[in-house]
Structure 1
């Protein structure tokens, strides 16, 4: 049994909650139930139990239109949303990349060791950008699938918060998040890097997965520095 919020739940349900949390889009919403059931290969009953846990924990709420949205996506800002805004105001893209380089190779390593076959299948599928997503949404879907597969709820939450800060509009001048500047060639290059990570995870190669993730993020960091005309880590 696993504790989520105040009540223990069985491991399959806990895994589903983690997978759904990783599916919350940068806009703060989830796909329709039918799509989620097909994608996650679960029954509607099981899905609704997991959605209730997310609502009860404050991660998800219903908007007036009935659409599920992440907490803080509308109405009065939550404390978590206000904290996120403060973090955005006090940070910069270089700090975000430094933190991603610290956290995400470790998550890739854990995913190679712990991810279930279904979670690995989702990681491999997300390595190819979905046509119905923007480039930044597709990128985040892949990295969140890895975080879910790592099966460390605290690390997954930290990674989720980090990506929320990165995707805030005030940080969208970074090369990795600017959809308007993302060409088809850049998407292909990114997908190739994602596939290298996914293949290492699927092969249960923790060292290879961590190194592939590190190389991918380091390349993103170098592109960011080049775009801003920096030759070193002079971020002041």
Structure 2
């Protein structure tokens, strides 16, 4: 299975599990289907199901009890906006422009509104990212997306969270996977780790302007990496 397929399957599993959790929120005492049943239902591998469940557990959406199963937690995310045709009408540079406009504002609001539990979640997600091997693009994208979503949710604005989900879904379009891989190097990942560390610190210390500036710096670095990857990709074409 290729990295592109793995990444697509993991994100597909995560999104479908989020929808399932919303449907089952009214019956928290009933366990979710087993990993095997979920894999069959969503037409993905059990590894992708486990990875998605790991993210949801870290977010506090689900909890597991040995011998009993997996249960819905106390909160469920908002439904992402349905903009399925946008990848065909957009491109990664437009996605980055949208992120640069949206996410610094989310970081600023998160610094004003994040609870201690939300900051702790950001810290855990950041630490999980730092432990991932640079060549494991599937896991890196999964946890990076969860980290940025944790900031968006901590901002406490449901409309902006919905916009974040829509933009993030477009960003993950499998047709652009090879460019995201080209833009990811070990040195850049170390730099992004530093950006994430400063982001969490500013949010935890209630520094809204600094948090917004750190997010903007991070996204501008991502944008530059994608521009360089796109330029190199074009040079390799016959």
Quickly name the TM-score band, shorter chain normalised: 0.5 to 0.7
State the distance in 2 between where 1:32 and 1:125 align: 12
| Alpha-carbon separation, structure 2, partners of 1:183 and 1:95 | 22
Of residues 40, 47, 54 in structure 1, which corresponds to 2:60?
A: 40
Match of 2:92 in 1: 93
CA drift of 1:225 comes to 1.6
* 8 Å CA contact 1:88, 1:171 repeated in 2: no
Offset from partner CA, 1:139-178 (integer Å, 9 cap, x none) = 112101101111111101110111111001012233xx32
- Contact map agreement 2:107 2:208 (CA 8 A) in 1: yes
- Determine the structure 2 residue equivalent to 1:24: none
- 2:152–2:160 Cα contact (<8 Å) kept: yes
For 1:139 and 1:170, the matched residues in 2 are separated by 19
Matches within 5 A, 1:172-183: 172-174=177-179, 177-178=180-181, 182-183=184-185
- Hey, what does 1:31 align to over in structure 2? 53
CA–CA distance in structure 1, aligned partners of residues 144 and 61 of structure 2: 22
Residue of structure 2 equivalent to 1:21: none
8 Å Cα contact 2:183/2:225 also seen in 1: no
Q: Which has the higher contact order (CA 8 A, sep 6+)?
A: 2
Is the contact made by 2:61 and 2:74 (CA closer than 8 Å) also made in structure 1?
no
TM-score normalized by the length of structure 2: 0.62
Root-mean-square deviation (CA, aligned residues, Å) is 3.6
1:151 is paired with a residue whose SS is coil
The Cα shift of 1:50 comes to 4.5
The verdict on how the C-alpha distance between 1:39 and 1:142 changes in structure 2, with shifts beyond 3 A counting, is: closer
SS of the residue 1:171 aligns to: helix
Once residues 32 and 127 of structure 1 are traced to their aligned partners in structure 2, the CA distance between those partners, rounded to angstroms, is 14
The structure with the largest helix share of the pair is 2
Q: Which residue of 1 aligns with 2:192?
A: 190
Query: What is the CA–CA distance in structure 2 between the aligned matches of 1:209 and 1:196, rounded to whole Å?
Result: 8
1:50 & 1:111 partners in 2: Cα distance? Answer: 21
Q: Give CA deviations for 1:185-204 in whole Å, capped at 9, x if unaligned.
A: 33222111111111111110
Task: Figure out how many residues of one structure are paired with residues of the other and give that number.
Answer: 177
Where does residue 206 of structure 1 map in the other structure?
208
2:219 equivalent among 217, 220, 235: 217
Residue 92 to residue 202, structure 1, CA distance change in 2 (3 Å): same
Given the superposition, is the C-alpha separation of residues 32 and 145 from structure 1 closer, same or farther in structure 2, using an over 3 Å criterion?
A: closer
Structure 1 portions without partners, runs of 5+: 10-26, 60-70, 72-78, 231-236
What 5-or-longer segments of structure 2 have no aligned partner?
A: 1-21, 27-47, 66-70, 133-137, 233-238
